[in-house]
Structure 1
Amino acid sequence: MAETASQHPHPGLPAPGRCVVMGIVNVTGDSFSDGGQFLDPERAIARGLELRNLGVDVVDIGGESTRPGAVRVDPAVEARRVIPVISALTSAGVAVSVDTMRATVAAEAITAGAAIVNDVSGGQADPDMAKVIADAGVPWILMHWRSNGEYVHRADAGGRDGYRDIVKEVSAELLTQVDAAVRAGVDPSALVLDPGLGFAKTAEDNWALLQALPHLAGLGFPVLIGASRKRFLGSLLSGPDGTERAVLERDTATAAISALAVAGGAWGVRVHDARSTLDAIAVAHAWTTGRG
């Protein structure tokens, strides 16, 4: 059984009194939603400041796309993309997380001011990541992903990846990742779990995990939901001819999931369009607390 997080939240995790909102800035040329839009550092910095001004709690900076079919970039390239952006934003007082699977990039990002490491491999892609996290004492988001070992999100990997009970298996595998992190010296209170919606999971898998959010939240760790603009929302909103809703037209559905995530007990959500999600969470928070 995995050791659970302390009743006292880690001081590095934001606690705004509502569901935490992470705003995405992809400093990449090929991300599925905004690839190339923020590859220029100045545009990425400007977007990060804009997100902070909108009210997001953390700006999540990533330099390597994990969209289906993406090709992994050299670690030096990834670092060159994200470190100047992280340094500039943290110097301006913005809370930043780094979205990386690589220990070397995470270490540089932490030195540059990143307060959280968001690792979509859940610590599996780089055996040195746990030591970096333990030494730095920063929060670590562990996402669930049954990868083929290369940590490339393949376009044909969307079918059931051998799951018999998606909720039971994802829960157990996340707790195994927690055990490995704690054995490596990571403070349990620093860990956040992400069920990995869309990563080698079908639409049905994703909906089952969302429906089971109260169960996931009951594992004893904060839970982050990353549904923003993902394909299963495009499929849900398909037109009469079966054409999927365009990526940039999935923000209303994303905001609906953000609101429902509040009711389900999510600690946070990670989104592209901050305004719609912040509005949805404000309504959900007022609804659940009975006050605005």
Structure 2
Amino acid sequence: MTKVYYRPIPQGGLPRPEGALPLCGGPLWFTHVERLTREGAQVLPADQLPEDWQRRICRPRPAIAGLSLDVPRVMGILNVTPDSFSDGGSHDAPDAALAHARAMIAAGADMIDVGGESTRPGSAEVPVAEEIARTAPAIERIAPLGVPISIDTRKAGVAKAALAAGGQLINDVSGFAFDPALAPLAAALAAPVCVMHMRRAPEDMHIDPQFDNALLDTYDELAERIDAVEAAGIPRARILADPGIGFAKDVGHNLQILNRLSLFHGLGCAILLGVSRKRFIGTVGQTTTPSERDPGSIAVALAGIAQGVQMVRVHDVAGTAQAIRLWQAVQAGRA
């Protein structure tokens, strides 16, 4: 039996035409959908959207970690690592981490994502004790600033220490497949989570990635991980879904997924998009230096927001926040 998927084709601005359906309770709407199968695609009026898909796509997304999701949100990246691909070693001391968090909040960050283990292609696993020693002190220093903090980890021990230090959300690049204790911990602590799509592990994910259909394979595999997390006791209302751009995907795979990113609203979760300074940005944008990839990163983040993404994970908070303000003004037709 042919599996069918429906992708809303988002539009924005006012006035919203009669009969247009709302997209996840945010600023966008849609009058047409793309009916997708592995054999092809067809554009249909939105009134032909099946009821179960309409319910998942149209219902407003609940607040996550106290943040409403009716406007685009910015998650600022804080790597407290010596070896992250973009800024490793820049913020790995607690004072430096605190200063950078303050700067990102002043620039418009709605949430700070603290990570103590590099997940760049080819990176090695960091022991739990070492990862805790990197992340927990930084989170403890940042927590009084009053902005929600997520812990970027695959490990229950690290997440438990981070939440005890003041963290609120668990962001797992493995989609909660690495440590079987992590999802039950999040459920027990009623912590919201981000479930990301990734195959294999950072050590080898970059070696010859293959998909039959990058978009639909990623959707199906991410749906399976979200179902597993939900079965562990975490309601879908507390789940962010991340398609894992750059993780076990080549340039072509990334662009295929980004081109039809609004399909992922069918998961019934808010979407987080993390593309900042990734290698494909440099490849397409023709720059090898990660810090020079911010213009391309902002361009892709805005393309995602135009497809209804609720949160973007970025290095350049100031530039991204400014771009979003301009995008919102253009959508509204006023400042």
Structure 1 length-normalised TM? 0.91
Q: Is the 8 A contact 1:4 1:188 kept in 2?
A: no
- In structure 1, the residue corresponding to 2:249 is in which secondary structure? coil
Structure 2 length-normalised TM? 0.80
Match of 1:225? 273
Q: CA RMSD of the aligned region, Å?
A: 2.0
Alignment of 1:44 onto 2:97: yes
User: 1:7: Cα distance to partner?
Assistant: 4.4
Match of 1:283? 326
Change in CA separation of 1:276 and 1:8 when aligned onto 2, cut-off 3 Å: closer
In structure 1, distance between residues paired with 2:182 and 2:102: 28
Q: Is the 8 A contact 1:223 1:267 kept in 2?
A: yes
C-alpha distance after superposition, 1:169-198 (max 9, x if no partner): 111111111111111111110001101011
Match of 1:173 among 196, 221, 228: 221
Q: Is the 8 A contact 1:62 1:99 kept in 2?
A: yes
Match of 2:177? 124
Unaligned runs of 5+ in 1: 239-243
User: 1:92: Cα distance to partner?
Assistant: 2.6
User: 1:8: Cα distance to partner?
Assistant: 5.4
Match of 1:264? 307
Q: Residues 174-213 of structure 1 correspond to what in structure 2 (within 5 A)?
A: 174-213=222-261
- In structure 1, the residue corresponding to 2:267 is in which secondary structure? coil
- In structure 2, the residue corresponding to 1:98 is in which secondary structure? strand
Change in CA separation of 1:74 and 1:228 when aligned onto 2, cut-off 3 Å: same
Match of 1:76? 129
Identity %: 37
Alignment of 1:252 onto 2:295: yes
C-alpha distance after superposition, 1:20-39 (max 9, x if no partner): 10000100010000011111
In structure 2, distance between residues paired with 1:272 and 1:7: 28
Amino acid at match of 1:164: D
Alignment of 1:274 onto 2:320: no
In structure 1, distance between residues paired with 2:237 and 2:206: 36
- In structure 2, the residue corresponding to 1:82 is in which secondary structure? helix
Match of 1:241? none
Q: Residues 157-172 of structure 1 correspond to what in structure 2 (within 5 A)?
A: 157=207, 159-161=208-210, 163-172=211-220
Change in CA separation of 1:217 and 1:182 when aligned onto 2, cut-off 3 Å: same
Match of 1:61? 114
User: 1:237: Cα distance to partner?
Assistant: 1.8
Bigger-Rg structure (1/2): 2
In structure 1, distance between residues paired with 2:217 and 2:205: 22
In structure 1, distance between residues paired with 2:240 and 2:105: 21
Match of 1:215? 263
User: 1:67: Cα distance to partner?
Assistant: 1.0
Unaligned runs of 5+ in 2: 1-51
More strand by share: 2
Amino acid at match of 1:170: T
In structure 1, distance between residues paired with 2:331 and 2:66: 22
Amino acid at match of 1:234: G
User: 1:13: Cα distance to partner?
Assistant: 4.8
User: 1:287: Cα distance to partner?
Assistant: 1.9
Change in CA separation of 1:119 and 1:73 when aligned onto 2, cut-off 3 Å: same
User: 1:219: Cα distance to partner?
Assistant: 2.5
| Residues 35-44 or 88-97, more deviating | 88-97
Match of 1:114? 167
Q: How many pairs does the alignment contain?
A: 282
In structure 2, distance between residues paired with 1:8 and 1:169: 24
Amino acid at match of 1:188: R
In structure 1, distance between residues paired with 2:299 and 2:63: 28
- In structure 2, the residue corresponding to 1:94 is in which secondary structure? coil
